[in-house]
Amino acid sequence: MTEQQPIQPEAQQEPVVQQEAAPIREKKPKKLHVVIACGYVGTNYNGSQMQNGKNALVATTIEGEIAKVLIKLGYCPEDDLRQIDMERTSRTDSKVSAAMAIFTLWCTNTTTLHEELNEHLPADIRVYGVMRTTPRFDCRAMCTSRRYEYLAPVQMFYSTIYEEKKVQYKAFLAEQQANLQLIARPESFVMQQVEFVQPEAGLTNEQLVKFFNENTREKLNQFTKMCYSDYNAYYYNFTSENKISTISSTVRKYDQFEFNEAFLINGKAFTKISIHGIAFLYNQIRKMVTAVSLVARNQCPPSWMSRALTGRVEFKTEIPTAPGEYLMLLRQEFKGYEKSEEMKIYGDMLSNREEIKQKAEQFKQIIHEQILAVSDEIWQGYLAQMDEFATHVDGYELGKEAVLREIKIAEILRENKVQMQVQME
């Protein structure tokens, strides 16, 4: 008889715990690199570029206004503006306007962004169009040149209070006539003295327009070509000192700095200055306008300009800054873009498209209306600033220094040439 096995107690089964399914992650919308073409009236803004850091949105800027709209629409968190990585093709100074400005940023929407921006942006900033571009597209590096326009009151180029100093300077040049013949350096303005004639007092604005077109415009263009376009010059006197790293980094040469015929707008005499170049320093164009004005109104001689454009630390000079309200960025040019990868994939650059150009031309008229609405007090204050400049900067004495320096260089070159001829003999 077999021994009976003891009955084993049933094993207790552990309760089955139902595991919750892992939540399905929503796929974040893909950010796309986009180009924005827009225009703006700059009179109410502290320039186009947004500040860095936590105070990025404190100052009222064009980029700041665009960023605020993107935050409002949920495309970017307020505490991390780096997510949109906004870049500009050209930075404009405080109060400066733009008929056509190109920006790039990263955003999840390209189809309705154009309409959304215009719906929420102030009326003085208008977006003309939005296009997608490649991730590596760099608008600033791809831009080959910039075109600006300065709408200048004709009166800024005339003054009669410096005639006596002009006569004294001409007497100085007459005394140095024999020595001036030695100067052969092509960059010397001493060899090409442009004499500006001042109009009679009491001319009407209509008469002033005629006088400018017949007596002043051609000489201004001759002088600006000689100063700004004929050779590379140093523009370290034409910007803020803390904005440059080295004097050599300020070397520039410009394709155009040209005065157009004067005309009447609302009874006031104006001329348009067309400016075209690869790149510009902070406040540079406005100081270039002032420098030409100082010479045209006989406040400084042409040789003062030669001194100001010389890359020497000891020739540091002060130049007042013309009002930014009258300056407008017309457009940026992208030569070579037609051969780029972006062109093949996404088509022509926005600024080259006819429908965008037409929108920019229409907005340009709004900018002109705002410029004409600028208070005369701003312009009168600027003219007073230029006259005050004469009380502590004697342009004629600085001009004489430039002439004597050129003569000294010519003498040294002549002596070296004679010594080389003697050695060869």
Mean pLDDT (whole number) for 129-147: 92
Q: What is the model's pLDDT at position 11?
A: 53
Q: Which pLDDT score, from 0 to 100, does residue 231 have? A: 80
Of all helices (H) and strands (E), which one includes residue 125?
strand 125-132
Question: Tokens 């000891």 correspond to what residue?
Answer: 314
Read off the pLDDT of each residue in 367-375 and give the average, rounded to a whole number: 87
Largest CA distance in the chain: 150
State the pLDDT at residue 121. Answer: 95
For residue 423, pLDDT beyond 70 = no
pLDDT of residue 151: 94
CB within 8 Å of 379: residues ≥ 6 apart: 153, 156, 323
Determine which helix (DSSP H) or strand (DSSP E) holds 335, and give its type and residue range: none
pLDDT at res. 59: 79
Q: If you average pLDDT over residues 89-99, what whole number do you get?
A: 93
- In percent, the amount of the chain with pLDDT more than 90 equals 44
Interacting residues of 392 by C-beta distance below 8 A, sequence separation 6+: none
Q: How confident is the model at residue 371 (pLDDT cuts 50, 70, 90)?
A: confident
Model confidence at 18, pLDDT cuts 50, 70, 90, reads: low
Q: What is the pLDDT of residue 40?
A: 96
Which residue ranges does the chain devote to CATH 3.30.70.580? Answer: 32-143
Note whether 59 and 45 are within 8 A (CB): no
CA pair distance 331, 356, nearest whole angstrom: 11
The Cα 209–Cα 203 span in angstroms is 10
Does the pLDDT of residue 16 top 90, yes or no? Answer: no
pLDDT band at 245 (very low <50, low <70, confident <90, very high): confident
pLDDT value of position 99:
96
Confidence at residue 232, expressed as pLDDT on a 0 to 100 scale: 87
According to the model, what pLDDT value does residue 23 have? 57
Q: What is the pLDDT of residue 3?
A: 53
The reported pLDDT for the residue numbered 374 is: 82
Q: Which residue has the tokens 């791809």?
A: 142
Report the chain's mean pLDDT, rounded to a whole number: 85
Helix, strand, or coil here: 234? strand
CA distance 107 to 86: 10
Q: Could you tell me the pLDDT band of residue 15, with boundaries at 50, 70 and 90?
A: low
β-pairing verdict for 87-88 and 145-153: unpaired
Q: What is the pTM of this model?
A: 0.86
Give the range among 274-288, 301-315, 352-366 with minimum mean pLDDT. 301-315
> What's the rounded Cα separation, in Å, for the pair 127 and 112?
12
**DSSP assignment of 353-404:** SHHHHHHHHHHHHHHHHHHHTS-HHHHHHHHHHHHHHHHH--HHHHHHHHHH
What whole-number percentage of the chain has pLDDT above 70? 87
* pLDDT range class, residue 188, cuts 50, 70, 90: low
CATH no. of 32-143: 3.30.70.580
pLDDT in tens, 336-369: 888 888 888 988 899 999 999 999 999 999 999 9
95-109, 130-144, 235-249, 294-308, range with the lowest pLDDT: 235-249
Q: How far apart are CA 147 and CA 376, in angstroms?
A: 26
Q: What is the DSSP letter of 110?
A: S
262-271: per-residue pLDDT in tens? 999 888 899 9
Q: Where in the chain is the domain with CATH 3.30.70.660?
A: 146-333+376-415
Domain 146-333+376-415, second-level architecture = 2-Layer Sandwich (3.30)
